[in-house]
Structure 1
Amino acid sequence: MTAPAWLSQGTLVLASNNKGKIAEFEKLFAELNLPVDVIPQGQLNIEDAIEDGLSFVENAIIKARHASKISGKPSIADDSGICVPALGGAPGIYSARYAGAHGNDAANNEKLLADLLPLRKDGTVIEGMFVCVLALVQHAEDPLPQIFQGIWQGEILDAPRGENGFGYDPLFWLPELGISSAEMSKEEKNKISHRGQAMQLFKASLER
């Protein structure tokens, strides 16, 4: 098997400035034991890209190309969020800025709860899913980005539970486990989460 060309470059830029995501990715990449240094783009003074795509895939590619163009290195980007079918898939790609300001987890959670309140009748279960799309580009103009997608099915609680994680984790209920995503350790979450699933596919691509 021939190793991917980007592995020989010594560095892979992680196109994110989200502290929660970076912390999860650092654990996930450490488990892969890659022969490259994975560097968050903030260490290279790369600001966030303008995410003007209409899908997780588009935005992941936009972010990866942006980081790769500025750094001159291969880059991997994550675009992720929570989708609620009862709301037509919202918050979707707007998950991080659902309530307006980018990255205000408390406000985003409050808005999601408020939007779902009219739909909660007689203990109706509100289904939801966390989605993660990873895009890997060898260089900024790579015509064939590699895409790895993970989907984590669950339900949306009517009140936050748990202190771990970030984003919508306190509202994401896992009925088969009887806990919320925010009640899991990082290790437990990484094994089954949307991000963990996408990373497993990434890992599998290295082994082909």
Structure 2
Amino acid sequence: MQQAVVDAGRPLPQLTDPLEVELQVSAIVGPFAGNEELWEVVVRHLREVPSRRSAALLTALAHLLPGRPGQWAREAAGQQQEPPWDLKNLTFGECWIGDRSIDAGYLALLCSYAYGDVPHAMVFMIDEISGGLTRHAFLTRQVGEALERLKQQVRLESITAEAAHWLLSRSYDRFERRPGLGFGSDVHHTRLVARRRIKLAMN
């Protein structure tokens, strides 16, 4: 498992899109994010073998891993060169909510973000029948198109980024307590991407 995680960092120095970095790392390391023993070994290895790959993977892990592993990665990344992309340049845009909990049993959330002047959005479907669990979470770079499609399905209202991500925080807390339920693979693949935005919005 350790080698698989380290190998996942191989393409990162060649990437220029910070969003692609987040997606690749989240999809690979998300299932093991809470394994402190694993990350202690991985971070120590990357620190002891400095390279462009080590620096890039440590930087990504510093932004995406929760708790102590993220702090370990942050400290180790500070001792190596910076990668060609910047995950610190994330900004928040508009958020929209649509409530179909009465007739269809779900809430829809669209939250927009940007790296520099390049926008993207995450769209979440929250299952109110199952206690507010996130059933689907996908990412799109076609923000305007996604918003228009969502408007065709549900009446949308503007919501602050803080309020939207508070709802998501509660939903992901429930999801992480019950990871064996039938969620879409998109929820698992993008979980660390979503969790990072939740943390930034609520701090």
TM-score norm. by structure 1 comes to 0.26
Larger helix proportion of the pair: 2
TM-score norm. by structure 2 comes to 0.26
